[in-house]
Chain A
Amino acid sequence: MKGKMAIIGDGDGALVFSAAGADAYAAEDGAAAKRLLKELAGRYAVIFVTDVLAAQMEEEIAAYAMQPYPIVLAVPSARGSSGYGAQLLRRQSERALGMDITGTEGER
């Protein structure tokens, strides 16, 4: 199976990834990103979402959690990482093991 990559981001960061080979889509806020995600989910195998936006649409992303594709991945933006990706991992570790073993506690 062949798939493509897309990035949902705030213009700036998306541009450089579009030059590198992912399709870029701009979303100004969470609501726009939610609409975009729904639209893109069927067409792309991997969707990168800027972590600030990803934090605003947890439920929508969780809907795809138990199926292999599409993969929705939170990536930091040019303003720096919000630590959302690490936080997600921590939560999963707690869910499965009852404790956090990622060793990222206290990092931002």
Chain B
Amino acid sequence: MARINVNPTRMELKKLKARLKTAQRGHKLLKDKTDEMIRRFSALVRETARLRRALDGEVVRVLKQFSLARGTMSKKQIALAFSMPAASLEVDCTTVNVLNIAIPKLRLEEGQGGEIYPYSFAEVTSEADRAVADAGTLLARLLRLAELEKATAMLSGEIERSKRRVNALEYVMIPDIEETIRYISQKLEENERGSLTRLMKVKSMLEERGS
């Protein structure tokens, strides 16, 4: 361990002792925070993985259904029916504070979308209708997944960062300070012993001269 380069004085010793206390306290707090983040993360990542698995299949199913529906219509018809953009849905975006990380929270605005197809029913087959309706409900669940995946990503980044901090404190900063404190107190003791023996020597010399 590397000793911190300071003068071995009582002042420095006092300062270092205060720093050690702060470092130890910070270490404990950070470690608790990391533990809690890990606990939440493991629950979150399981839920996300479950939803991801479910939705992966679901999305493919809807898309396949849509391509099937497309097959029954001509290219021109499709282009005609879907060239008009649908009313794009608005999402209510807020953030929630979880352990000091701003995690996004999404909510599909109610009352819009749903039944607004961008085409008239006469133009399109019922299979396509179904696919579009399914895609609508799927979208809401995809938003939930988006929210969860973002939360996992942010949390994992944060865990990594705070782990690094905990380790830096535990294995570098605290041992360094402890070693420096030891060094300074040894040095101070040595000085004290030095002056004491000097005094004794002087005293004995004086006594010799006096006798």
A interface residues with partner B (beta carbon < 8 Å): 1-5, 12-13, 15-24, 45-46, 48, 65-66, 68-69, 71, 73, 75-78, 80-81, 83, 85-86, 88-89, 92-93, 95-97, 101-104, 107
Contacts and interface: CB of A to CB of B under 8 A. Distances in A.
B103 interface: yes
Contact of B64 (A17, A78, A101): A78
B200 to A, nearest CB: 60
Interface of B: 38, 41-42, 45-46, 48-49, 52-53, 55-57, 59-60, 62-64, 66-67, 70, 78, 82, 85-95, 102-104, 106, 109, 113, 117-119, 131-132, 135-136, 138-139, 142-143, 145-147, 149-150, 152-157, 159-160
Nearest to A45: B93
19 contacts: A2-B90, A3-B90, A3-B93, A5-B91, A12-B63, A18-B82, A18-B118, A21-B88, A21-B89, A68-B104, A73-B142, A73-B145, A75-B142, A76-B59, A77-B63, A81-B56, A95-B157, A96-B156, A102-B46
Which one of A16, A24, A75, A83 has the greatest number of beta carbons of chain B within 10 Å? A16
Contacts, number: 174
A77 B62 CA distance: 10
Main secondary structure of the interface of A (DSSP, over half): mixed
Given A48-B142, A81-B60, A86-B49, A16 B135 contact: yes
A17 B82 CA distance: 11
A61 to B, nearest CB: 10
Given A46-B143, A89-B45, A102-B46, A22 B156 contact: no
A96 to B, nearest CB: 4
